[in-house]
Chains A and B, each alone.
Chain A
């Protein structure tokens, strides 16, 4: 028997082998291809429209990138759900869990190692999207705005929050596939619906992760407005309705994402720590 190993060394082991597993899966390759294809498609369409059209539409490279990166949150959601959706459920479903969870390793250590590996893997995929965006900005505007760094930071924070939500579902469900699908549905449909309901009712949807993620682009936008109210004619007896549109301040978005990260990661830990393996 070896000497007693500290939690930090075991964290490193969990991280290294999980990272190795992630980079070796078709899931990683598939996500890379997905992000690359989306990026190429956007870049290709804009190339087809021509430099003059693009630069005529967006006054600055920052505004251009704010538009270009509007889809980054979707890429992050898909990446996070696929990387984190089954990270813990794989143990709770039996199989590998019967090998791993009988080892003298705290479940919190395993969770931390896997979460960190998922974050690094997800960041690697996300950076592909940003690399294409940077190349496009340089091509059309001859510069890359420095605020892209803030956007990358916000996107990374969003990735961590998405992973926390995905890990929560992964600790909750014993079936890895169900866990991934549940995380995807909540992140792709659930939160945007909550945000839309907030906009329609005139309530700032500060409680929605989707809303917080808009900080990714709001740090780039030169015409940022926290709240917009538009009167829309209904066509019924000359009436109209007010349509509200909210965008989070960058700090506000960061706080929302950080809170989601903290709360869902804590919930994941508690559930994973206490869950029994009965399968």
Chain B
């Protein structure tokens, strides 16, 4: 069963704490989204797990093996796509994939079969062309193919669709969803919250090197309950009349007939408020904003005390 674990993982560059005592553990298949603003420590975390950096304190473990103690063993079943990797320019795409496959102990037949499969799935550029002749997006697809070629049980992905066009993004997204369903463990950073929502079932929020929150996407919806409602009446009403409706904590007039009402976010209060509003005047619209990962993300990094 694949696993990823950070135990008090810390990385300081001189005195600057790029990652500050981060701890998490994930076992089994699934996809974990790693979210945070630029400079939050996402790439530093992935680099610590990929042996590009060594921790100042704490440990990074993959499948129970400490990365800094024995990178070869720890990374044996890992595919990492961190920062902006590029293939060696003097080699062709096919040679790049063959080299990675040989390092990973794949047989020639396995390399050939998987290369052919990935070439179709990722619509790879001509594989017998030197990679120095390829475009940036084509090189990236070669690198993604190299990451997926060994079919690792753990994938560390740093904004994996960055630099791809929309169609390519969809292809990669579908591959990641398939890999998740195949019980592989994926830790991916992304700025594309929609992408994280579609691929990941768990998320970690990080800001200024500190983990702010770890939870499932489903639980986030409860944790970040929407605490205001927009209500519209068929005619103008007095705000004071709404202030006396049970469950309403605050009233904000948007127009004479449209209001935003703060409440505690519970379903019971919502029902009571709807009932109360209908006694004031006929209601033409009654809605709360749908929580998106983006809302939660923004509220967290802005230090929303309710988060």
| A binding-site residues for B, Cβ under 8 Å | 1-5, 9-10, 13-14, 17, 20-22, 24-25, 90, 94-106, 274, 276-279
How many Å lie between the Cα of A98 and that of B71 in the bound state?
15
Q: How far is the CB of B113 from chain A (nearest CB, A)?
A: 13
CA distance A20 to B130 in the complex (A): 12
Residues A17 and B99 in contact in the complex (CB < 8 Å), given A3-B105, A103-B75, A104-B73: yes
Besides A14-B103, A98-B84, 14 other A-B contacts (C-beta < 8 A)? A1-B77, A1-B153, A2-B104, A2-B110, A5-B104, A13-B99, A96-B85, A98-B82, A99-B86, A99-B96, A99-B100, A101-B51, A104-B78, A274-B54
**CB contact between A95 and one of B72, B85, B106, B152 (< 8 Å): that residue:** B85
State whether the Cβ of B83 lies closer than 8 Å to any Cβ in chain A.
yes
Given known A-B contacts A104-B73, A277-B53, A99 and B85 have beta carbons under 8 A apart:
yes
Closest 6 CB pairs of A and B: A2-B105, A98-B85, A102-B80, A21-B90, A99-B85, A5-B105
Please name all residues of chain B whose beta carbon is closer than 8 Å to the beta carbon of A4 when the two chains form the complex: 76, 105
Provided the pairs A20-B95, A25-B90, A96-B87 are in contact, do residues A101 and B52 lie with their beta carbons within 8 angstroms? yes
B152 touches A106 (CB 8 A): no
Q: Considering the chains assembled together, what is the distance between the CA atoms of A20 and B50 in angstroms? A: 27
Give a binary string over B78-118; 1 marks a CB under 8 Å from any A CB, 0 the rest. 10101111111111000110011111111100100000000
Contact A2 B106 (CB under 8 A): yes
| CB-defined contacts of A14 to chain B, threshold 8 Å | 103
Return the chain A residue nearest B88 by Cβ: A96
The stretch among B143-151, B167-175, B209-217, B236-244 that forms the contact with chain A is B143-151
A2 touches B150 (CB 8 A): yes
Residue numbers in A under 8 Å from B260 (CB-CB)? none
A contact residues around B152 at 8 Å (CB): 1
- Choose among A2, A21, A101, A105 the residue with the greatest number of B CB atoms under 10 Å from its CB: A2
Cβ-based interface call for B47 (8 A): yes
Q: Can you give 6 contacting A-B residue pairs, CB < 8 Å?
A: A1-B104, A94-B84, A96-B86, A99-B86, A99-B88, A103-B103
* Residue pair B82, A103 in contact (C-beta under 8 Å): no
| Chain B interface mostly | loop
Cα-based distance from A100 to B99 in the complex (angstroms): 10
Contact assessment for B151 and A1 in the assembled complex, using a CB-CB cutoff below 8 Å: yes
Which A residues are CB-close (under 8 A) to B75? 102-104
Scoring B residues 50 to 80 as 1 if CB is less than 8 Å from chain A, else 0, what string do you get?
Answer: 1111100000000000000001111111101
Bound-state Cα–Cα, A98 to B77, Å: 17
Q: Are A276 and B91 in contact (CB under 8 A)?
A: no
Cα distance, A3 to B150, chains bound together (Å): 11
B103 A277 Cβ-Cβ under 8 A: no
Cα A89 to Cα B87 in complex, Å, equals 15
In the bound complex, do residue A102 and residue B50 qualify as a contact, i.e. CB atoms below 8 Å apart? yes
Q: Are A102 and B87 neighbours in the complex by a CB distance under 8 Å?
A: no
Q: Is the CB of A21 within 8 A of B51?
A: no
| Residues A21 and B104 in contact in the complex (CB < 8 Å), given A1-B77, A99-B86, A276-B53 | no
Docked CA distance A25–B96 (Å): 16
